[in-house]
Amino acid sequence: MKARVLKAGGTWNVVQTSVGEIVKTRLKGKLRLQNFESNNPIAVGDWVELSREKDDWLIKFIYERENSIERQSTKIGKQVQILAANIDQVVIIMSLKNPKSSLGFLDRILVSAESSQVKACILFNKIDLLSKNEIEQAYYCEEAYQKLGYTCRLISLKEKNGIIEISKIVRGKLSLLIGNSGVGKSTLVNSLDERKNRLVGKISEANSKGKHTTTLAELLFLENNNTMIIDAPGIKEFGLYSIKPDKLRWTFPEFLPYQKKCKFSDCMHKNEPHCEVKLAVAEKKIQLRRYNYYLELLNELQ
């Protein structure tokens, strides 16, 4: 039977079967060895095939992923953690104040989304805390990212309008929600959780005896099950492991119109002569901050 992974715990996984039943499953031993680059071969959002063995449901295989968002898990060296698979979009929540999220963190996630060819939306939250002057800066920042092609919203989750705006963005889709601690992720989830329909949370708590539950991403059904959100808690660092240095330039959408005119077709926009990207930076057509961040990431990946 086909099923979707709602929570991936390594040895146990919570899935929803094609008939809507939510069950706990284990991995077939063989599967565990297959994907050794990852600390857990199963990801939230995965489609899997189950087989029945005695009283247990076992995961026989994982269907090919349409996409996935990965990060290097810092604790376990170079191992890759798959944050989510088969998603429609990444929704990044940034807090403008208390705490102020860093644009570097945002750019990093955008690079990851671009490299996985997943759409990204940016929510700048807590606008209610800003002074008039700060709101102007926030609009400026929103406009800058909007120009890069990302859907951006300046919102306050304390206001009804903010929640309506978010609902429009996430309704009917599977979104991976990413943001530092304190930015408003739980507030967002709860405000869309009309029926307090947190099935996954309940099941996993019962099964894992409270261990590690806060560090695992889980797929939640919100807005009368029309909306699915994968809440990835506690992300402080976001290592970009699987991106090859020479692929990085394709993850900055503002480079695209210029880099095809660089003298060298494999130009990395670093020290090469006749680089149209560097020229565009000098002419302020590309943000210097973003370009510098590109160089910083390039350095990190090389």
What's the one-letter identity of residue 56?
A: D
**CB-based contact 48:2 (threshold 8 Å):** yes
Q: CB of 276: closest distance to Mg ion in angstroms? A: 43
| Residue from 66, 88, 128, 272 binding ligand GDP (CB under 6 A) | 128
| Residue from 72, 186, 197, 213 binding ligand GDP (CB under 6 A) | 186
**Token reading at 17:** 């079967």
Instruction: Determine phi and psi for 64, rounding to 5 degrees.
Output: -55, 135
Q: CB of 255: closest distance to Zn ion in angstroms? A: 8
The answer to whether residue 216 forms part of the interface with ligand GDP (CB under 6 A) is no
**CB-based contact 244:259 (threshold 8 Å):** no
The answer to whether residue 280 forms part of the interface with ligand GDP (CB under 6 A) is no
277 is in the binding site of which of Mg ion, Zn ion, ligand GDP, none (Cβ under 5 to 8 A by kind)? Zn ion
- Tokens 């060895």, residue located: 33
Sorted by sequence, the CB contacts under 8 Å of residue 225 that are 6+ apart come out as 197
**Token reading at 223:** 């807005």
- Residue number with CB closer to Mg ion (167 or 186): 186
**Token reading at 190:** 């709860």
275 is in the binding site of which of Mg ion, ligand GDP, Zn ion, none (Cβ under 5 to 8 A by kind)? Zn ion
The answer to whether residue 157 forms part of the interface with ligand GDP (CB under 6 A) is yes
CA 268 to CA 251: how far, in whole Å?
A: 12
| Residue from 48, 110, 121, 277 binding Zn ion (CB under 5 A) | 277
Binding site for Mg ion (CB under 5 A): 185-186
Binding site for Zn ion (CB under 5 A): 262, 267, 269, 275, 277
